[in-house]
Structures are given as structure tokens and as C-alpha cells.
Structure 1
Amino acid sequence: MGAPSLDNEFMQYWSKLTVVEKESLLNVARNYVLLKEEEADLTELRRSIVHEEREKYLKGEGRSYSWEEVKQMAIDKEKRNAL
């Protein structure tokens, strides 16, 4: 189904709704779009943090953990040093 026919079908249903129903549906659509935008922003933020941490690691900066340390931090929350 192409975009024009999808738009036409949507408008057929839209025209049958009351004002209250339209407002409700508009709120749902608005919240959905805003949530998607927030998730995209968070994904980009995560990507940026990972990139920065990788650059620090490659430069020998920051803290590096052994596999044993990582396992212990996963088991014991007190060993996470505010991570």
C-alpha cells in the first residue's frame, strides 16, 4: 500500500471520528513521535559515550578492568565503585 492510498484511507477513518476522539488519537500520535525522538537521542548519546570511552582506552587513559574484576563487580554491587 503506497503512502497516498494510506493517507486516503486514514482520512476516511479520521473524518468519522468525533473531536474528542481526534484529540485523543492526536495525543497518542504526538507521544509516539516524541518517544521515538527521545530514543534516537539516547541512542546517539550512548554511541557518543562508547566512542569517548574507546578513545580513552586506546590512549591508555582512564581505568581498565580485568575480566575477573568485571565478574566480581557483576556479582558484588559494593565493588562497582559508583559505576
Structure 2
Amino acid sequence: MVNLEELDQVKITEFLKLHTSKNKFVITPSSILKNMGFPVSEHKFMLENKSTILKLKKILAKLNKEGVLSQRKLKQDFKGIKEIGYDYVIEN
């Protein structure tokens, strides 16, 4: 498992390329952490890692601006937390 402090744009992009080719899922900070094996269903984990979640939100927003992701119209709801959802733009 990746260390939370090691998450950066390069690691997130590599993760998205690998995992979105296998299955389709809504990309949010929570879904990334969940698919990396972190216990996002534990409220305590989410509270203790707000800075990491904010960092992921910024990375996803940047990837959206760069055209790697496309923002969904509706926000995703995870345990009462509204998150912007993205889809991975497949390269041709």
C-alpha cells in the first residue's frame, strides 16, 4: 500500500490509468483512497486525513483542467460528504 504522504499527481495519474482500464468507477478522493486499500468507511480515518483529501481534490481539479479527467455534472455523496466526481478521459 502507498503511504498517504507519497500521493502526488504522478502516482494518482498512474493509478487512474491502471484502474480505470480494469473497471469503470467514479473518481473522487474517497474512491481513490478506497481502491488503494485505505479504510475510508471508518469515519476516524477520514477525519484524521482531511489534508490528504484536500490534496487529492486539488490534484483531481488540476487533472480536470489538463483534460485528463472530465467532471461529472452531479456531485457524488459518500457518507454525507459531497464530492466532485470525475471520469477518466481515455487516450486514443
Same fold (TM over 0.5): no
TM-score normalised by length of structure 1: 0.30
Q: Which has the larger radius of gyration?
A: 1
The answer to which structure, 1 or 2, has the higher relative contact order (CA under 8 A, 6+ apart) is 2
Question: Which structure features the higher share of strand residues?
Answer: 2
